Structure 1
Amino acid sequence: MKPSYTFLTTLLGSLGVIPFATATYLNWQNETFLGWSGHELFSTYSAMILSFLSGALWGQLVHKQVSTFGKWLLLSTKLIALAAWLALLMHTTALAIALLLLGFMSIFWLEVRANTLIQPSHSHYFNMRFVITLVVCVLHLLMLYPHY
């Protein structure tokens, strides 16, 4: 990654966590925003971001030589994202959030495994992605906590 993009990538990645944190706060305070509960906001935003990450990774790897395992992993991340969207449509937000959590962990794991296929010199990017993914996963767990 070019040094000029490092700050922008970090800034945009960090700003992307704000809606997760805001929705988690709204959920824990039993508040709404424009008539939407924290669960609804969180799960919808999470599904959009997971779909984006999945599509971006798919786009990076679709023309690369990927192992059979990698192909199955790519397919499984798409299936997890679709299952999460289906759970959202069925209004089972706890299941959707659990599936989205699994999706974020899977996408990160796949992206790290595919690192050598994409560009192996992105250590700053993967450090940032690890921290952001960790924060997002913890927020998913906080969203599930009151339910169990």
Structure 2
Amino acid sequence: MASGNQTSPVRKTRLFDALAYLGLLPFVLGILMQATGVEVFGVGGRLWFAAYSAVILSFLCGIWWGGALNRVAHRHRIALAVLSNLVCVGGWVALLLYRTPWALPLLALGYAFVVTAEARLNPNLPRLYDYFRTRSRVTYLVIGCHLIMIVTILFTD
């Protein structure tokens, strides 16, 4: 029987995989709020969606920051640290522009950049491959949610 330190990476990441998929729910809720005109705590679907998107994009970049901090010998360490900050600032700018047509495409581009850069810069430990495969899948679903929200806004505004 395997000890606690010898469990498979797949087993170690089940909770994180589940949380990644559960993280899609606020995106879907924002789309539904926009489509129905419902507000929660005085916040409409468009702001709900953009704010949550900016926060999650920053969270993903924070993982790069942590990887750069903890993996001193990583050959892309400086790039990860700088890019994490640039993408976070881009997400913040998009949030400030949430009422404009530029916000959601800018946020979606941020996610597309993150998933593409992760494939090239390889900031993650190889033993976490299964988790980051899940995260890539969820990121594509998030980009899809952005496209659905853009269409929803076109029909509701």
Question: Which bracket does the TM-score occupy, shorter chain normalised?
Answer: 0.7 to 0.9
2:54 matched to 1:54?
no
Q: Residue 54 of structure 1: SS of its match in structure 2? A: helix
- Percent sequence identity is 31
Q: Residue 36 of structure 1: SS of its match in structure 2? A: coil
- Distance in 1 (CA, whole Å) between partners of 2:90 and 2:67 is 23
Q: Quickly say closer, same or farther: Cα 1:104–1:135, change in 2 above 3 A.
A: same
Selected match of 1:138 from 144, 147, 156: 144
Stretches of 4+ aligned residues off by more than 6 angstroms? none
Selected match of 1:24 from 24, 31, 34: 31
Q: Quickly say closer, same or farther: Cα 1:67–1:8, change in 2 above 3 A.
A: closer
CA-to-aligned-CA distance 1:90-142 (integer Å, 9 cap, x gap): 55353222111111111112222233x53223332132112201110000111
Selected match of 1:100 from 101, 107, 129: 107
Q: CA deviation at 1:67?
A: 4.5
Contact 1:24 1:142 in 2 (8 A): yes
- Distance in 2 (CA, whole Å) between partners of 1:14 and 1:105 is 17
Give the TM-score, by structure 2 length.
0.78
Alignment length (residue pairs): 145
- Written as runs of structure 1 = structure 2, the 5 A alignment for 1:23-42 is 23-42=30-49
1:66 is aligned to 75
- Distance in 2 (CA, whole Å) between partners of 1:33 and 1:65 is 43
- Distance in 1 (CA, whole Å) between partners of 2:53 and 2:39 is 17
Give the TM-score, by structure 1 length.
0.82
Structure 1 runs not aligned, ≥5 long: none
Which structure's CA Rg is the greater one? Answer: 2
Q: Residue 136 of structure 2: SS of its match in structure 1? A: helix
